[in-house]
């Protein structure tokens, strides 16, 4: 008698088999992402997965101490990964993501540290620069916005300033890196775009600066902050230079561009070809009054101011904030008499006919 062995065939339903394969693929993908892009999955991680691109950063301390760091030196410093982004002057929400970099305060500590008697100047390779107060370096005094709506909102988690080299786990692209000043927090609120300096190459600890505002009054009213003015006065934005007869270099913004922010409802244009200045209103005629802190003023006709870049509201003298008695702003330019170069400017008004 011949024994016959039974052969049992296990049949797995196709749906169950397909589900199992998908689950295996998903688990594998997650494991790969966890190894290669951990900050995408865990924003609090300080793991650095990508080799830093070539970079050089110069640090200058309050006593002139200078230190230059390359990518190898920067990679050895403790890193922070957190969330951030910015709101542009025309209301766009941009740059939202996870940023990895070195805390600004840690960089300051490498060259003697920073305290309330100091400020910090961040310089970019394209000529842009911005001054930060001690409080700002410590994460205070920033306007914050919701990343969902762009509306101004209060933040409940601390803000941290970092010099970022990664965005979402990858080296910053050539249109913003290799290093960018970024303001991040666990809740990912946005800040104003002029604080997010691209192409950072130098950090200087300098004497403390005092905040100020410039009141612009016309069809609109604007309290322009120091930071907004500084941003506009940068090279590549609206900044312009004038050298006087004593070889002093004055830097600022043409008066007509400031007038264009409040002469009608058009505050700012995104292209360089078209400015917000309203030529039609200027041709109809109005008076521009520039007022100092003592209440003294100088007046110009709209026709004289109209697109005249030789009348400059200056905020810097030889690369530094204006000293007393010029501070915070002084009117300068080749077409002005000495009597017209009013200093300690705090307000600029448009006086329309009949007003």
Q: What is the mean pLDDT of residues 26-41?
A: 45
pLDDT tens for 38-54 read: 444 444 444 445 799 99
pTM, to two decimals: 0.71
Question: Which ranges in the chain are annotated with CATH 3.90.420.10?
Answer: 56-207, 213-352
Q: What is the mean pLDDT of residues 15-39?
A: 51
pLDDT tens for 288-319 read: 999 999 999 999 999 999 999 999 999 999 98
Is the pLDDT score of 22 beyond 70? Answer: no
**Residue partners of 275: CB distance under 8 A and separation at least 6:** 257, 260, 269, 307
pLDDT tens for 236-292 read: 788 899 999 999 999 999 999 999 999 987 776 544 434 689 999 999 999 999 999
pLDDT of 31 reads: 41
Closest CA to 232 of 199, 179, 276: 276
Question: Could you give the CA distance from residue 144 to residue 161 in angstroms, rounded to a whole number?
Answer: 14
Is the pLDDT score of 81 beyond 60? Answer: yes
The DSSP result for 144-176, as a single string, is: -B-TTT--B---SS--EEEEEEEETTEEPPTTT
Q: What is the mean pLDDT of residues 323-330?
A: 95
Label residue 66 by pLDDT band (50, 70, 90). very high
Q: What is the mean pLDDT of residues 113-140?
A: 94
Q: What is the mean pLDDT of residues 20-32?
A: 54
Mean pLDDT of the chain: 87
Is the pLDDT score of 132 beyond 60? Answer: yes
Is the pLDDT score of 231 beyond 50? Answer: yes
pLDDT of 270 reads: 46
DSSP state of 195: G
pLDDT of 127 reads: 87
pLDDT of 32 reads: 41
**Residue partners of 121: CB distance under 8 A and separation at least 6:** 129, 130, 131, 132, 203, 204, 206
One CATH from 1.20.58.100, 3.90.420.10, 3.40.50.2300, 3.40.640.10 for 56-207: 3.90.420.10
Q: Which residue has the higher pLDDT, 272 or 166?
A: 166
Rg (alpha carbons) of the chain, rounded to whole number: 27
Q: Which residue has the higher pLDDT, 16 or 90?
A: 90
Label residue 28 by pLDDT band (50, 70, 90). low
Q: What is the mean pLDDT of residues 90-104?
A: 95
Is the pLDDT score of 133 beyond 70? Answer: yes
* CATH class label, 213-352: alpha beta
Question: Could you give the CA distance from residue 258 to residue 273 in angstroms, rounded to a whole number?
Answer: 16
pLDDT of 18 reads: 58
Label residue 354 by pLDDT band (50, 70, 90). confident
Is the pLDDT score of 64 beyond 90? Answer: no
pLDDT tens for 207-218 read: 998 899 999 999
Is the pLDDT score of 166 beyond 60? Answer: yes
pLDDT of 39 reads: 42
Label residue 6 by pLDDT band (50, 70, 90). very low
Question: Could you give the CA distance from residue 169 to residue 188 in angstroms, rounded to a whole number?
Answer: 16
């Amino acid at each position: 008698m011949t024994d016959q062995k039974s052969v049992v065939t296990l049949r797995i339903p196709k749906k169950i088999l397909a589900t199992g394969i998908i689950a295996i693929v998903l688990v594998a993908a997650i494991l790969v992402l966890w190894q290669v892009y951990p900050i995408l999955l865990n924003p609090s991680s300080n793991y650095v997965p990508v080799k830093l691109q070539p970079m050089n950063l110069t640090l200058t301390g309050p006593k002139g101490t200078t230190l230059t760091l390359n990518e190898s030196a920067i990679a050895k410093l403790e890193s922070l990964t957190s969330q951030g982004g910015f709101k542009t002057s025309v209301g766009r929400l941009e740059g939202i993501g996870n940023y990895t970099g070195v805390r600004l305060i840690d960089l300051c500590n490498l060259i003697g540290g920073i305290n309330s008697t100091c400020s910090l100047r961040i310089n970019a390779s394209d000529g842009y620069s911005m001054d930060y107060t001690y409080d700002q370096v410590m994460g205070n005094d920033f306007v914050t916005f919701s990343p969902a709506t762009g509306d101004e909102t209060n933040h409940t988690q601390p803000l941290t300033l970092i010099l970022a080299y990664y965005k979402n786990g990858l080296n910053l692209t050539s249109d913003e890196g290799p290093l960018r000043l970024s303001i991040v927090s666990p809740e990912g609120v946005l800040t104003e775009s002029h604080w997010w300096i691209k192409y950072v190459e130098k950090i200087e600890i300098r004497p403390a600066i005092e905040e100020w505002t410039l009141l612009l009054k016309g069809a609109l009213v604007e309290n322009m902050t120091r930071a907004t003015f500084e941003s506009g006065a940068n090279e590549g934005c609206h900044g312009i230079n004038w050298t006087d007869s004593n070889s002093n270099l004055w830097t600022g913004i043409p008066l007509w561009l400031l007038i264009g922010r409040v002469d009608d409802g058009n505050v700012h244009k995104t292209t360089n070809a078209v400015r917000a200045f309203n030529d039609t209103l200027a041709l109809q005629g109005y008076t521009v009054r520039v007022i100092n802190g003592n209440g003294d003023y100088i007046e110009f006709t709209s026709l004289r101011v109209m697109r005249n870049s030789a009348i400059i509201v200056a905020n810097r003298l030889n690369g530094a904030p204006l000293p007393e008695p010029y501070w915070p702003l002084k009117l300068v330019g080749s077409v002005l008499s000495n009597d017209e170069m009013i200093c300690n400017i705090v307000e600029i008004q448009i006086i329309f006919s009949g007003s």
